[in-house]
Every structure is written in structure tokens, then in C-alpha cells.
Amino acid sequence: MRIDVLTLFPEMFHGVLGTSIIGRAIENKILDINLVNIRDFAKNRHKQTDDYPYGGGPGMVMSPQPLFDAFYHVLDKSSSARVIYFTPQGKTLRQEMARDYAKMSHLILLCGHYEGVDQRVIDRFVDEEISIGDYILTGGELPAMVFIDCVSRLIPGVLGSSQSVEEESFSEGLLEYPHYTRPQVYEGFKVPEVLLSGNHKEIEEWRKKESLRNTLKKRPDLLKDVDLTLEERKIIDELKRGKL
Ligand code: 4G1
């Protein structure tokens, strides 16, 4: 997958893209991430990329000229690219959306700053607007990095087989069960006996129950989107009644 990122702060991406899983995917040519500095396309004398808003009011707006030219630079003939603008006005990113994006061959990500970009840039180039959540940020770079991380790990070959825990629990729409590793006892805190038993059926049942318990307790909202088996419904009923 090719990802072009249009940003005023390409350096912000270096840490994330050079590190571990995403870095390896780039080395292995599964991912081709092209950081484009919008400022490089500014034609005015001071390389200014923002200006005052028409109609007045606070803040600055990203100017159309550097952005139009940056888009023409990355759009080169291959018009199959999907253009995503990160904005609090967008649809909130969800795992199902990430799965769809992971299948695409070319994405162009636009990161805003100040009050955002001139509306004509959105009208001319943007296919979809995405948000990563409802809070205030200084720019779209962190959302773009969250998106790259979330989508990249779903591209075949990006995760190694041992990391391929994949979407285990999230794809089922539930939270994870508790995890333990060595040692068996640490500062008096014990690993649940069942996990040491070697009884795979019992372990599986315990994990399912704990996963349901966690979801019911911490994120009951998730349960409405899950197809539960009859067995799982029974467990939930018992959890609710305080048994188990
Ligand atoms: C009004 C949050 C403004 C922020 C309402 C999540 C936030 C991009 C995102 C803002 C941004 C709310 C995101 C706000 C984001 C232009 C540059 C917009 C930064 C900007 C709830 C500032 N997911 N925010 N405005 O944060 O880009 O994608």
C-alpha cells in the first residue's frame, strides 16, 4: 500500500514510521509511506501556508495554493487514490472501517492545522472525512498516525505470525480476557490456577467468561453489536445475577 501524507510537520511521523512493526513493513516494501511537506509547495516569498479567514474571526486557515499543488504532485495520473482528511467533523474511525482501508492500494492523508483547511481544498480533493474522537487537538498529524498504525497492521504480511493475535477479541466485538506471563507468583499475586492446568477446554471456557465479564463491567455498550451464542448469553445472564 502507498500512503502519501500531506502535512506541515513531516518530522512528527519519523518516530512512528521508523519504529518496530510499521518500520519493518516499510523496509519489506509492504508499505510505502511518502511524507509531503505542504510548505515545499508554497509559492509566496515567505513560504507562508496559512492566512486570515474571510469574514473575520479568530485563528488562521490553511491556504488553497500550497495544498492544491501538493495534491497535484501526489495525484499523478493514478486517480484511484482515496483522499482522507482528518477532522473532528469526520466519521469516527472504527475497526470495520480500518479493515476496508487495509484493502486499498493508495491512500492520501491530509493533516490540518490552525482552524483547518480552506473549504475549496475539501470540495476539490477530499473523498472522506475521518475523526479519531471528540476532543481538541492542535493538528491532524496524530490522527493520521493513529490511522496508519491501525490500518497497517491489517495488511497481510505486516504482522509476524507471533504478533498475529490479530483482532481476536475485537473482531468478536468483546474486550480481552486477563493475560499472565511468568512467574507464577509475583509479590504474592498469583496466576489463576486454571491457566496452569494444561486443560485447554477449561482454559478456553475461563477466557470466554472473563472476556464477557470484562465487557459487561467496562464496556457494556459493546455488547449490543455482538452476535452472542446461546452459551454466551447464558454466561452473561449469570454474570448479571452475580453468580460466576
Ligand atoms: C472543534 C480531534 C474543534 C481533533 C471540535 C480529533 C475538536 C482530526 C482531529 C476541534 C482533530 C472538536 C481528530 C479541534 C483536529 C484543525 C486542526 C482541526 C486541528 C483541529 C471536538 C483543531 N481526528 N483538530 N480543532 O480539535 O484535526 O482527526
Q: Tens of pLDDT along 198-232?
A: 999 999 999 999 999 999 999 999 999 999 999 99
The residue contributing the CA closest to ligand 1 atom 10 is 136
CA angle 10, 11, 16 (to 5 degrees): 100
Cα(171) to centroid of ligand 1, in Å?
A: 28
What pLDDT band is residue 172 in, cutting at 50, 70 and 90?
A: confident
Question: Which domains occur in the chain, in start order?
Answer: 2-152 (3.40.1280.10), 168-241 (1.10.1270.20)
Confidence of residue 134 (pLDDT cuts 50, 70, 90): very high
For ligand 1, the distance from its centroid to the CA atom of residue 207, given in whole angstroms, is 38
Interatomic CA distance for residues 142 and 13, integer angstroms? 9
Burial bucket for residue 212 (CB in 10 Å: 0-12, 13-18, 19+): buried
50 lines ligand 1 (CB under 6 A): no
Lowest mean pLDDT among 13-22, 112-121, 205-214: 13-22
Q: Is 85 touching ligand 1 by the criterion CB < 6 Å?
A: no
For ligand 1, whether the C-beta of 131 sits within 6 Å is yes
Between 171 and 23, residue with greater pLDDT:
23
Task: Kindly give the distance from the C-alpha atom of residue 134 to the centroid of ligand 1, in angstroms, as a whole number.
Answer: 8
4 CA distance to ligand 1 middle (Å): 20
Choose one of 49, 130, 137 to mutate for the ligand 1 pocket test, by most ligand atoms within 8 angstroms of C-beta: 137
Tell how far the Cα of 135 is from the centroid of ligand 1, in angstroms.
7
Check residues 169 and 6 and name the one with the higher pLDDT: 6
Query: Does the pLDDT value for residue 159 go beyond 60?
Result: yes
The pTM assigned to this predicted structure is 0.95
Contact criterion met (CB below 8 Å) for 28 and 54: no
Ligand 1 centroid distance, CA of 136 (Å): 5
| Percent of the chain with pLDDT strictly greater than 70 | 96
Q: Is 189 in the pocket of ligand 1 (CB under 6 A)?
A: no
Residue 196: φ, ψ to 5°: -95, -5
Task: Assess whether the C-beta atom of 220 lies below 6 angstroms from ligand 1.
Answer: no
pLDDT recorded at residue 165: 47
